[in-house]
Structure 1
Protein backbone atom coordinates (compact mmCIF):
# COMPACT_ATOMS: atom_id res chain seq x y z
CA UNK A 1 0.00 0.00 0.00
CA UNK A 2 1.36 3.42 -0.97
CA UNK A 3 1.58 6.36 1.41
CA UNK A 4 -1.55 8.09 2.67
CA UNK A 5 -1.93 11.22 4.75
CA UNK A 6 -4.71 11.98 7.22
CA UNK A 7 -5.05 15.74 7.64
CA UNK A 8 -7.22 18.06 9.71
CA UNK A 9 -8.03 15.74 12.61
CA UNK A 10 -7.60 16.56 16.27
CA UNK A 11 -5.24 13.78 17.33
CA UNK A 12 -5.29 12.13 20.77
CA UNK A 13 -2.33 9.79 20.52
CA UNK A 14 -2.94 7.44 23.48
CA UNK A 15 -0.01 8.75 25.53
CA UNK A 16 -2.06 11.01 27.79
CA UNK A 17 -0.66 14.19 26.23
CA UNK A 18 -2.99 17.00 25.22
CA UNK A 19 -4.70 16.68 21.80
CA UNK A 20 -2.94 18.24 18.82
CA UNK A 21 -3.64 18.94 15.17
CA UNK A 22 -1.02 16.97 13.27
CA UNK A 23 -0.78 15.26 9.89
CA UNK A 24 -0.50 11.46 10.10
CA UNK A 25 1.37 9.66 7.31
CA UNK A 26 0.74 5.96 6.82
CA UNK A 27 2.46 3.49 4.51
CA UNK A 28 2.39 -0.31 4.28
CA UNK A 29 0.18 -0.62 7.29
CA UNK A 30 2.28 1.47 9.65
CA UNK A 31 2.47 5.06 10.82
CA UNK A 32 5.61 6.49 9.25
CA UNK A 33 5.54 10.15 10.21
CA UNK A 34 3.79 12.73 12.38
CA UNK A 35 3.69 16.21 10.91
CA UNK A 36 3.86 17.67 7.43
CA UNK A 37 5.24 15.31 4.79
CA UNK A 38 6.26 15.64 1.17
CA UNK A 39 5.14 12.08 0.43
CA UNK A 40 2.71 11.71 -2.46
CA UNK A 41 -0.36 9.51 -2.24
CA UNK A 42 -3.92 9.42 -0.94
CA UNK A 43 -4.97 12.41 1.15
CA UNK A 44 -7.80 11.89 3.65
CA UNK A 45 -9.54 15.02 4.89
CA UNK A 46 -10.53 14.55 8.55
CA UNK A 47 -11.36 18.18 9.31
CA UNK A 48 -13.67 18.47 12.33
CA UNK A 49 -13.06 14.89 13.48
CA UNK A 50 -11.10 13.48 16.40
CA UNK A 51 -8.57 10.70 15.85
CA UNK A 52 -7.54 8.14 18.47
CA UNK A 53 -5.69 4.86 18.31
CA UNK A 54 -7.96 1.89 17.79
CA UNK A 55 -9.55 1.08 21.15
CA UNK A 56 -8.67 -2.16 22.94
CA UNK A 57 -11.08 -4.20 25.06
CA UNK A 58 -9.02 -6.49 27.30
CA UNK A 59 -11.97 -8.61 28.48
CA UNK A 60 -14.50 -9.81 25.92
CA UNK A 61 -16.56 -12.94 25.33
CA UNK A 62 -17.28 -13.03 21.61
CA UNK A 63 -18.18 -16.69 21.95
CA UNK A 64 -21.05 -15.79 24.30
CA UNK A 65 -22.90 -13.64 21.78
CA UNK A 66 -26.07 -15.75 21.74
CA UNK A 67 -28.85 -15.72 24.38
CA UNK A 68 -27.18 -17.26 27.42
CA UNK A 69 -29.80 -19.76 28.60
CA UNK A 70 -30.44 -21.37 25.18
CA UNK A 71 -26.69 -21.36 24.49
CA UNK A 72 -25.75 -23.21 27.68
CA UNK A 73 -28.64 -25.65 27.37
CA UNK A 74 -27.64 -26.59 23.80
CA UNK A 75 -30.83 -25.25 22.20
CA UNK A 76 -28.97 -23.20 19.56
CA UNK A 77 -27.24 -24.68 16.55
CA UNK A 78 -23.53 -24.23 15.93
CA UNK A 79 -24.37 -22.24 12.80
CA UNK A 80 -26.52 -19.76 14.74
CA UNK A 81 -23.87 -19.41 17.45
CA UNK A 82 -21.26 -18.67 14.75
CA UNK A 83 -23.56 -16.10 13.13
CA UNK A 84 -24.02 -14.35 16.47
CA UNK A 85 -20.26 -14.34 17.12
CA UNK A 86 -19.49 -12.79 13.74
CA UNK A 87 -22.24 -10.18 14.13
CA UNK A 88 -20.79 -9.14 17.49
CA UNK A 89 -17.27 -9.06 16.03
CA UNK A 90 -18.39 -6.69 13.26
CA UNK A 91 -20.26 -4.46 15.69
CA UNK A 92 -17.20 -4.35 17.95
CA UNK A 93 -15.06 -3.08 15.07
CA UNK A 94 -17.70 -0.50 14.14
CA UNK A 95 -17.60 0.77 17.73
CA UNK A 96 -13.93 1.66 17.30
CA UNK A 97 -12.36 -1.40 18.96
CA UNK A 98 -9.62 -2.76 16.72
CA UNK A 99 -8.11 -5.23 19.22
CA UNK A 100 -9.75 -7.43 21.85
CA UNK A 101 -8.65 -10.11 24.26
CA UNK A 102 -11.18 -12.93 24.44
CA UNK A 103 -10.97 -14.36 27.94
CA UNK A 104 -12.93 -17.53 27.25
CA UNK A 105 -15.58 -18.79 24.85
CA UNK A 106 -14.13 -18.99 21.33
CA UNK A 107 -11.89 -21.40 19.49
CA UNK A 108 -9.03 -20.75 17.10
CA UNK A 109 -11.34 -20.98 14.11
CA UNK A 110 -13.01 -17.70 15.00
CA UNK A 111 -9.67 -15.96 15.43
CA UNK A 112 -8.44 -17.32 12.09
CA UNK A 113 -11.62 -16.42 10.19
CA UNK A 114 -11.36 -12.80 11.32
CA UNK A 115 -7.59 -12.60 10.75
CA UNK A 116 -8.03 -13.90 7.18
CA UNK A 117 -10.66 -11.25 6.48
CA UNK A 118 -13.45 -13.78 5.88
CA UNK A 119 -15.60 -11.87 8.37
CA UNK A 120 -15.28 -8.36 9.76
CA UNK A 121 -13.94 -7.95 13.25
CA UNK A 122 -11.15 -6.68 15.46
CA UNK A 123 -7.79 -8.33 15.99
CA UNK A 124 -8.48 -11.12 18.51
CA UNK A 125 -6.10 -12.47 21.13
CA UNK A 126 -7.68 -15.63 22.53
CA UNK A 127 -7.03 -16.96 26.03
CA UNK A 128 -8.70 -20.31 25.28
CA UNK A 129 -11.42 -21.91 27.43
CA UNK A 130 -12.58 -20.54 30.77
CA UNK A 131 -10.83 -22.05 33.79
CA UNK A 132 -12.60 -21.82 37.14
CA UNK A 133 -13.06 -23.64 40.41
CA UNK A 134 -16.10 -25.86 40.92
CA UNK A 135 -18.94 -23.67 42.18
CA UNK A 136 -16.96 -20.48 41.65
CA UNK A 137 -17.23 -17.62 39.18
CA UNK A 138 -17.52 -19.01 35.67
CA UNK A 139 -19.29 -22.13 36.95
CA UNK A 140 -22.59 -20.93 35.46
CA UNK A 141 -23.09 -18.22 38.06
CA UNK A 142 -22.84 -20.16 41.30
CA UNK A 143 -25.42 -18.73 43.68
CA UNK A 144 -23.30 -18.91 46.80
CA UNK A 145 -20.24 -16.98 45.69
CA UNK A 146 -19.88 -14.51 48.63
CA UNK A 147 -19.26 -10.97 47.42
CA UNK A 148 -19.19 -9.92 51.08
CA UNK A 149 -15.73 -11.44 51.38
CA UNK A 150 -14.30 -9.17 48.68
CA UNK A 151 -12.91 -6.65 51.12
CA UNK A 152 -9.14 -7.21 51.29
CA UNK A 153 -8.42 -4.74 48.49
CA UNK A 154 -5.39 -3.02 50.02
CA UNK A 155 -3.24 -6.09 50.61
CA UNK A 156 -4.21 -7.53 47.25
CA UNK A 157 -3.41 -4.28 45.41
CA UNK A 158 -0.04 -3.97 47.15
CA UNK A 159 0.88 -7.52 46.11
CA UNK A 160 -0.33 -6.93 42.55
CA UNK A 161 1.81 -3.82 42.21
CA UNK A 162 4.85 -5.59 43.61
CA UNK A 163 4.43 -8.53 41.24
CA UNK A 164 3.53 -6.29 38.27
CA UNK A 165 0.09 -7.89 37.91
CA UNK A 166 -2.38 -5.79 35.91
CA UNK A 167 -6.00 -5.11 36.82
CA UNK A 168 -8.73 -4.95 34.17
CA UNK A 169 -11.97 -3.65 35.73
CA UNK A 170 -15.20 -4.40 33.86
CA UNK A 171 -17.94 -2.00 34.93
CA UNK A 172 -20.04 -2.30 31.76
CA UNK A 173 -21.25 -5.82 32.45
CA UNK A 174 -22.26 -4.92 36.01
CA UNK A 175 -24.10 -1.85 34.77
CA UNK A 176 -25.92 -4.05 32.28
CA UNK A 177 -26.95 -6.51 35.00
CA UNK A 178 -28.22 -3.69 37.20
CA UNK A 179 -30.46 -2.30 34.47
CA UNK A 180 -31.37 -5.31 32.34
CA UNK A 181 -30.65 -8.59 34.10
CA UNK A 182 -33.21 -10.50 32.04
CA UNK A 183 -31.76 -9.11 28.81
CA UNK A 184 -28.44 -10.72 29.73
CA UNK A 185 -30.24 -14.04 30.01
CA UNK A 186 -29.78 -14.29 33.78
CA UNK A 187 -32.17 -14.57 36.73
CA UNK A 188 -33.41 -11.40 38.44
CA UNK A 189 -31.79 -12.60 41.68
CA UNK A 190 -28.45 -11.72 40.10
CA UNK A 191 -29.36 -8.01 40.35
CA UNK A 192 -28.82 -7.84 44.12
CA UNK A 193 -25.44 -9.52 43.80
CA UNK A 194 -24.49 -7.06 41.09
CA UNK A 195 -25.15 -4.10 43.41
CA UNK A 196 -22.60 -5.40 45.89
CA UNK A 197 -20.12 -6.09 43.13
CA UNK A 198 -20.45 -2.56 41.72
CA UNK A 199 -19.71 -0.95 45.08
CA UNK A 200 -16.68 -3.13 45.71
CA UNK A 201 -15.33 -2.62 42.17
CA UNK A 202 -15.45 1.16 42.58
CA UNK A 203 -13.54 0.92 45.85
CA UNK A 204 -11.06 -1.58 44.41
CA UNK A 205 -10.29 0.72 41.48
CA UNK A 206 -9.36 3.58 43.80
CA UNK A 207 -7.23 1.35 46.01
CA UNK A 208 -5.43 -0.21 43.02
CA UNK A 209 -4.72 3.19 41.53
CA UNK A 210 -3.27 4.45 44.81
CA UNK A 211 -1.08 1.33 45.08
CA UNK A 212 0.36 1.89 41.60
CA UNK A 213 -1.24 -1.11 39.91
CA UNK A 214 -1.29 -1.00 36.12
CA UNK A 215 -5.01 -0.64 35.30
CA UNK A 216 -6.44 -1.52 31.91
CA UNK A 217 -10.01 -1.53 30.65
CA UNK A 218 -12.48 -4.25 29.66
CA UNK A 219 -16.22 -4.77 29.26
CA UNK A 220 -16.95 -8.47 30.00
CA UNK A 221 -20.26 -8.15 28.14
CA UNK A 222 -22.14 -11.38 27.42
CA UNK A 223 -25.21 -12.30 25.42
CA UNK A 224 -26.56 -10.77 22.21
CA UNK A 225 -26.67 -7.15 23.41
CA UNK A 226 -22.98 -6.24 23.34
CA UNK A 227 -23.57 -2.88 21.69
CA UNK A 228 -22.63 -0.87 24.80
CA UNK A 229 -18.96 -1.81 24.78
CA UNK A 230 -17.87 1.81 24.57
CA UNK A 231 -19.90 2.56 27.68
CA UNK A 232 -17.00 1.19 29.71
CA UNK A 233 -15.02 4.33 28.88
CA UNK A 234 -17.88 6.56 30.05
CA UNK A 235 -18.20 4.63 33.31
CA UNK A 236 -14.46 4.86 33.94
CA UNK A 237 -14.36 8.55 32.99
CA UNK A 238 -16.88 9.20 35.76
CA UNK A 239 -14.49 7.62 38.28
CA UNK A 240 -11.21 8.99 36.88
CA UNK A 241 -10.79 11.45 34.00
CA UNK A 242 -11.77 10.98 30.34
CA UNK A 243 -8.09 11.01 29.33
CA UNK A 244 -7.19 8.37 31.92
CA UNK A 245 -10.01 6.16 30.64
CA UNK A 246 -8.85 6.57 27.04
CA UNK A 247 -5.22 5.79 27.90
CA UNK A 248 -6.39 2.66 29.75
CA UNK A 249 -8.26 1.55 26.63
CA UNK A 250 -5.29 2.18 24.35
CA UNK A 251 -1.66 2.35 25.51
CA UNK A 252 -2.16 0.58 28.85
CA UNK A 253 -4.19 -2.26 27.39
CA UNK A 254 -1.62 -2.69 24.62
CA UNK A 255 1.04 -3.20 27.28
CA UNK A 256 -1.10 -5.69 29.17
CA UNK A 257 -1.61 -7.69 25.96
CA UNK A 258 2.10 -7.66 25.10
CA UNK A 259 1.61 -5.25 22.18
CA UNK A 260 3.37 -2.15 23.50
CA UNK A 261 4.40 0.21 20.71
CA UNK A 262 2.55 -1.85 18.12
CA UNK A 263 -1.03 -0.76 18.81
CA UNK A 264 -2.75 1.60 21.24
CA UNK A 265 -0.61 4.62 20.30
CA UNK A 266 -0.27 6.99 17.37
CA UNK A 267 3.47 7.13 16.86
CA UNK A 268 5.91 6.31 14.05
CA UNK A 269 6.41 2.57 13.70
CA UNK A 270 3.08 1.58 15.23
CA UNK A 271 0.40 -0.32 13.35
CA UNK A 272 -1.98 2.09 11.63
CA UNK A 273 -5.07 1.19 13.64
CA UNK A 274 -6.81 4.55 13.58
CA UNK A 275 -10.32 5.63 14.54
CA UNK A 276 -11.99 8.90 13.57
CA UNK A 277 -14.81 10.14 15.79
CA UNK A 278 -17.52 12.74 15.49
CA UNK A 279 -20.29 13.50 17.96
CA UNK A 280 -22.42 10.50 17.05
CA UNK A 281 -20.35 7.69 15.56
CA UNK A 282 -16.92 6.31 14.78
CA UNK A 283 -15.15 5.42 11.55
CA UNK A 284 -12.49 2.75 11.89
CA UNK A 285 -9.64 2.77 9.41
CA UNK A 286 -7.15 -0.08 9.59
CA UNK A 287 -4.22 0.28 7.19
CA UNK A 288 -2.47 -2.78 8.65
CA UNK A 289 -1.79 -5.69 6.25
CA UNK A 290 -0.48 -8.03 8.97
CA UNK A 291 -1.35 -8.50 12.66
CA UNK A 292 1.17 -7.56 15.35
CA UNK A 293 2.74 -10.32 17.45
CA UNK A 294 2.38 -10.22 21.25
CA UNK A 295 5.64 -10.08 23.15
CA UNK A 296 6.26 -12.29 26.15
Structure 2
Protein backbone atom coordinates (compact mmCIF):
# COMPACT_ATOMS: atom_id res chain seq x y z
CA UNK A 1 0.00 0.00 0.00
CA UNK A 2 1.32 3.43 -0.94
CA UNK A 3 0.69 6.34 1.36
CA UNK A 4 0.19 9.75 -0.22
CA UNK A 5 2.06 12.38 1.73
CA UNK A 6 0.69 15.93 1.87
CA UNK A 7 2.66 18.45 -0.17
CA UNK A 8 5.37 20.33 1.70
CA UNK A 9 4.53 23.91 2.50
CA UNK A 10 7.02 26.73 2.29
CA UNK A 11 7.83 28.76 5.41
CA UNK A 12 5.67 31.80 6.00
CA UNK A 13 7.08 34.88 4.31
CA UNK A 14 5.84 38.25 3.16
CA UNK A 15 2.58 37.77 1.30
CA UNK A 16 2.61 39.13 -2.25
CA UNK A 17 -0.64 40.19 -3.89
CA UNK A 18 -1.63 41.86 -7.15
CA UNK A 19 -1.95 45.12 -5.23
CA UNK A 20 1.49 44.98 -3.61
CA UNK A 21 3.60 43.43 -0.90
CA UNK A 22 2.46 42.66 2.65
CA UNK A 23 5.27 42.46 5.20
CA UNK A 24 5.77 43.06 8.93
CA UNK A 25 8.92 43.23 11.05
CA UNK A 26 8.58 42.38 14.73
CA UNK A 27 11.07 43.12 17.52
CA UNK A 28 10.70 42.46 21.24
CA UNK A 29 13.30 43.59 23.79
CA UNK A 30 13.26 42.00 27.26
CA UNK A 31 15.30 42.83 30.35
CA UNK A 32 17.43 39.95 31.63
CA UNK A 33 18.35 39.20 35.25
CA UNK A 34 21.96 40.29 34.66
CA UNK A 35 20.88 43.80 33.65
CA UNK A 36 21.32 43.32 29.92
CA UNK A 37 18.58 43.38 27.30
CA UNK A 38 17.76 40.28 25.26
CA UNK A 39 15.87 40.03 21.97
CA UNK A 40 13.50 37.04 22.17
CA UNK A 41 11.72 38.18 19.00
CA UNK A 42 13.68 39.44 15.99
CA UNK A 43 11.56 38.61 12.98
CA UNK A 44 11.87 40.39 9.65
CA UNK A 45 10.22 39.57 6.35
CA UNK A 46 9.99 41.02 2.87
CA UNK A 47 12.08 44.20 2.69
CA UNK A 48 12.99 44.04 6.39
CA UNK A 49 16.22 42.23 7.27
CA UNK A 50 16.95 42.69 10.98
CA UNK A 51 20.56 42.57 12.14
CA UNK A 52 21.63 42.32 15.77
CA UNK A 53 24.59 44.62 16.51
CA UNK A 54 27.21 44.30 19.23
CA UNK A 55 25.82 46.01 22.33
CA UNK A 56 28.99 46.47 24.45
CA UNK A 57 27.00 46.13 27.67
CA UNK A 58 24.52 48.94 26.89
CA UNK A 59 21.13 48.78 25.19
CA UNK A 60 20.40 45.97 22.76
CA UNK A 61 21.11 47.29 19.25
CA UNK A 62 19.33 46.37 16.04
CA UNK A 63 19.86 47.63 12.49
CA UNK A 64 17.13 47.40 9.84
CA UNK A 65 18.65 46.49 6.47
CA UNK A 66 16.59 46.88 3.30
CA UNK A 67 16.37 43.53 1.51
CA UNK A 68 14.48 44.85 -1.53
CA UNK A 69 13.08 48.08 -2.97
CA UNK A 70 10.13 49.18 -0.85
CA UNK A 71 7.69 50.70 -0.27
CA UNK A 72 6.21 50.65 -3.76
CA UNK A 73 2.70 51.73 -4.61
CA UNK A 74 0.21 49.21 -3.22
CA UNK A 75 2.57 47.84 -0.55
CA UNK A 76 1.45 47.54 3.06
CA UNK A 77 4.45 47.43 5.38
CA UNK A 78 4.62 47.54 9.16
CA UNK A 79 7.22 47.58 11.92
CA UNK A 80 6.14 46.51 15.42
CA UNK A 81 8.57 47.13 18.28
CA UNK A 82 8.02 46.38 21.97
CA UNK A 83 10.54 47.35 24.65
CA UNK A 84 9.32 45.52 27.74
CA UNK A 85 9.66 46.87 31.27
CA UNK A 86 13.24 47.66 32.26
CA UNK A 87 14.72 46.97 28.81
CA UNK A 88 16.74 49.29 26.59
CA UNK A 89 16.70 49.10 22.79
CA UNK A 90 18.51 51.18 20.17
CA UNK A 91 17.19 50.87 16.59
CA UNK A 92 18.86 52.23 13.47
CA UNK A 93 18.75 51.58 9.72
CA UNK A 94 21.53 50.83 7.25
CA UNK A 95 20.29 53.20 4.55
CA UNK A 96 17.52 55.59 3.59
CA UNK A 97 14.07 54.27 2.73
CA UNK A 98 12.92 55.32 -0.76
CA UNK A 99 9.19 55.45 -1.54
CA UNK A 100 8.67 54.59 -5.23
CA UNK A 101 5.66 54.46 -7.55
CA UNK A 102 4.05 51.08 -8.15
CA UNK A 103 2.31 49.48 -11.09
CA UNK A 104 -1.24 49.81 -9.77
CA UNK A 105 -1.41 53.52 -8.94
CA UNK A 106 -2.46 52.64 -5.39
CA UNK A 107 -0.77 54.41 -2.44
CA UNK A 108 1.71 52.54 -0.27
CA UNK A 109 1.16 52.25 3.49
CA UNK A 110 3.93 52.11 6.08
CA UNK A 111 2.90 51.75 9.72
CA UNK A 112 5.32 51.93 12.66
CA UNK A 113 4.00 50.83 16.07
CA UNK A 114 6.24 51.34 19.11
CA UNK A 115 5.45 50.24 22.69
CA UNK A 116 7.72 51.13 25.61
CA UNK A 117 7.10 49.66 29.06
CA UNK A 118 7.77 50.92 32.59
CA UNK A 119 11.38 51.95 33.12
CA UNK A 120 12.28 50.99 29.52
CA UNK A 121 14.05 53.10 26.91
CA UNK A 122 13.66 53.03 23.13
CA UNK A 123 15.78 54.95 20.65
CA UNK A 124 14.09 54.93 17.22
CA UNK A 125 16.64 56.47 14.84
CA UNK A 126 16.02 55.38 11.25
CA UNK A 127 17.69 56.93 8.22
CA UNK A 128 15.69 59.41 6.11
CA UNK A 129 12.59 58.57 4.14
CA UNK A 130 12.91 59.80 0.53
CA UNK A 131 9.70 60.54 -1.38
CA UNK A 132 10.60 59.87 -5.03
CA UNK A 133 8.74 61.48 -7.92
CA UNK A 134 5.47 59.70 -8.71
CA UNK A 135 5.26 57.88 -5.38
CA UNK A 136 2.30 58.06 -2.98
CA UNK A 137 3.00 57.02 0.62
CA UNK A 138 0.76 57.11 3.70
CA UNK A 139 2.87 56.69 6.83
CA UNK A 140 1.77 56.44 10.45
CA UNK A 141 3.88 56.21 13.59
CA UNK A 142 2.04 55.30 16.80
CA UNK A 143 3.85 55.24 20.15
CA UNK A 144 2.51 53.92 23.46
CA UNK A 145 4.62 54.89 26.48
CA UNK A 146 4.33 53.81 30.10
CA UNK A 147 4.55 56.58 32.69
CA UNK A 148 8.27 55.96 33.39
CA UNK A 149 9.30 55.11 29.81
CA UNK A 150 11.96 57.00 27.86
CA UNK A 151 11.83 57.67 24.14
CA UNK A 152 14.17 59.22 21.59
CA UNK A 153 12.53 59.36 18.17
CA UNK A 154 13.90 60.93 15.00
CA UNK A 155 12.05 61.38 11.72
CA UNK A 156 13.63 62.78 8.56
CA UNK A 157 11.84 63.19 5.24
CA UNK A 158 13.49 64.25 1.97
CA UNK A 159 11.08 65.38 -0.72
CA UNK A 160 12.37 64.07 -4.02
CA UNK A 161 15.72 62.71 -5.08
CA UNK A 162 18.33 65.03 -6.53
CA UNK A 163 16.89 67.10 -9.37
CA UNK A 164 13.38 65.63 -9.29
CA UNK A 165 10.03 66.73 -7.81
CA UNK A 166 8.62 65.08 -4.73
CA UNK A 167 6.01 62.38 -4.57
CA UNK A 168 2.93 62.57 -2.38
CA UNK A 169 3.66 61.98 1.31
CA UNK A 170 1.11 61.91 4.13
CA UNK A 171 2.51 61.29 7.61
CA UNK A 172 0.98 61.12 11.08
CA UNK A 173 2.76 60.82 14.43
CA UNK A 174 0.77 59.97 17.55
CA UNK A 175 2.40 59.57 20.98
CA UNK A 176 0.47 58.53 24.07
CA UNK A 177 1.95 58.39 27.56
CA UNK A 178 0.19 56.52 30.36
CA UNK A 179 -2.93 56.47 28.20
CA UNK A 180 -2.99 60.22 27.55
CA UNK A 181 -2.09 61.92 24.30
CA UNK A 182 1.26 63.71 24.45
CA UNK A 183 1.62 64.57 20.75
CA UNK A 184 -0.61 64.10 17.71
CA UNK A 185 0.34 65.74 14.44
CA UNK A 186 -0.23 65.16 10.75
CA UNK A 187 1.64 66.53 7.75
CA UNK A 188 1.12 66.35 3.98
CA UNK A 189 3.52 67.25 1.18
CA UNK A 190 3.55 67.00 -2.58
CA UNK A 191 0.73 66.62 -5.13
CA UNK A 192 -2.70 67.02 -3.58
CA UNK A 193 -1.48 68.87 -0.47
CA UNK A 194 -2.42 72.53 -0.84
CA UNK A 195 0.13 75.12 0.29
CA UNK A 196 2.86 72.67 1.30
CA UNK A 197 5.57 74.57 -0.59
CA UNK A 198 4.54 78.08 0.42
CA UNK A 199 6.57 80.32 2.76
CA UNK A 200 4.13 79.40 5.55
CA UNK A 201 5.13 75.72 5.39
CA UNK A 202 8.44 74.69 3.77
CA UNK A 203 9.33 77.83 1.85
CA UNK A 204 11.23 75.99 -0.87
CA UNK A 205 13.03 73.56 1.41
CA UNK A 206 13.11 69.89 0.49
CA UNK A 207 14.07 68.24 3.79
CA UNK A 208 11.99 68.29 6.96
CA UNK A 209 12.41 66.42 10.22
CA UNK A 210 11.94 66.28 13.94
CA UNK A 211 13.49 64.88 17.07
CA UNK A 212 11.24 63.94 19.99
CA UNK A 213 12.62 63.19 23.45
CA UNK A 214 10.34 62.01 26.27
CA UNK A 215 11.71 61.29 29.75
CA UNK A 216 10.19 61.17 33.26
CA UNK A 217 12.74 63.70 34.57
CA UNK A 218 11.29 66.30 32.20
CA UNK A 219 8.27 66.46 34.53
CA UNK A 220 10.34 68.77 36.76
CA UNK A 221 13.17 69.88 34.50
CA UNK A 222 11.82 70.18 30.95
CA UNK A 223 13.39 72.73 28.61
CA UNK A 224 11.96 76.00 29.89
CA UNK A 225 11.83 78.00 26.69
CA UNK A 226 11.67 77.82 22.94
CA UNK A 227 15.13 77.89 21.36
CA UNK A 228 16.07 78.47 17.73
CA UNK A 229 18.30 75.91 16.05
CA UNK A 230 20.95 76.94 13.58
CA UNK A 231 20.32 80.58 14.45
CA UNK A 232 23.58 81.67 12.88
CA UNK A 233 22.80 79.80 9.66
CA UNK A 234 24.98 77.35 7.80
CA UNK A 235 27.54 78.83 5.41
CA UNK A 236 25.99 79.01 1.93
CA UNK A 237 27.19 76.17 -0.27
CA UNK A 238 29.60 77.06 -3.04
CA UNK A 239 28.14 77.27 -6.49
CA UNK A 240 24.63 78.31 -5.40
CA UNK A 241 23.03 80.27 -8.28
CA UNK A 242 22.74 84.01 -7.62
CA UNK A 243 18.97 83.83 -7.94
CA UNK A 244 18.61 81.10 -5.34
CA UNK A 245 17.60 83.05 -2.24
CA UNK A 246 16.31 80.18 -0.09
CA UNK A 247 17.31 80.54 3.56
CA UNK A 248 19.62 77.99 5.09
CA UNK A 249 18.49 75.25 7.44
CA UNK A 250 16.50 76.44 10.41
CA UNK A 251 14.55 74.90 13.25
CA UNK A 252 13.15 75.27 16.72
CA UNK A 253 13.38 73.27 19.96
CA UNK A 254 10.33 73.60 22.20
CA UNK A 255 8.96 71.95 25.35
CA UNK A 256 5.76 69.94 25.14
CA UNK A 257 2.82 70.15 27.49
CA UNK A 258 4.15 67.07 29.24
CA UNK A 259 7.50 65.44 30.00
CA UNK A 260 9.05 65.93 26.59
CA UNK A 261 10.63 68.26 24.06
CA UNK A 262 10.25 68.45 20.29
CA UNK A 263 12.72 69.81 17.76
CA UNK A 264 11.37 70.59 14.28
CA UNK A 265 13.61 71.64 11.41
CA UNK A 266 13.59 72.31 7.67
CA UNK A 267 16.59 72.44 5.35
CA UNK A 268 17.54 72.46 1.68
CA UNK A 269 18.94 68.92 1.99
CA UNK A 270 19.19 65.96 4.31
CA UNK A 271 22.75 66.67 5.43
CA UNK A 272 21.95 70.08 6.88
CA UNK A 273 18.73 68.74 8.35
CA UNK A 274 20.69 66.09 10.27
CA UNK A 275 23.08 68.73 11.60
CA UNK A 276 20.17 70.67 13.12
CA UNK A 277 18.63 67.59 14.71
CA UNK A 278 22.04 66.61 16.12
CA UNK A 279 22.27 70.12 17.59
CA UNK A 280 18.89 69.59 19.24
CA UNK A 281 20.02 66.24 20.66
CA UNK A 282 23.10 67.86 22.19
CA UNK A 283 20.89 70.57 23.70
CA UNK A 284 18.82 67.86 25.39
CA UNK A 285 21.84 66.07 26.79
CA UNK A 286 21.75 63.20 24.32
Would the TM-score normalized by the shorter structure come out above 0.5? no
Structure with higher helix content: 1
Output the TM-score relative to the length of structure 2.
0.23
> Which structure's CA Rg is the greater one?
2
Structure with higher strand content: 2
Relative contact order, CA 8 A, sep 6+: which one is greater?
1
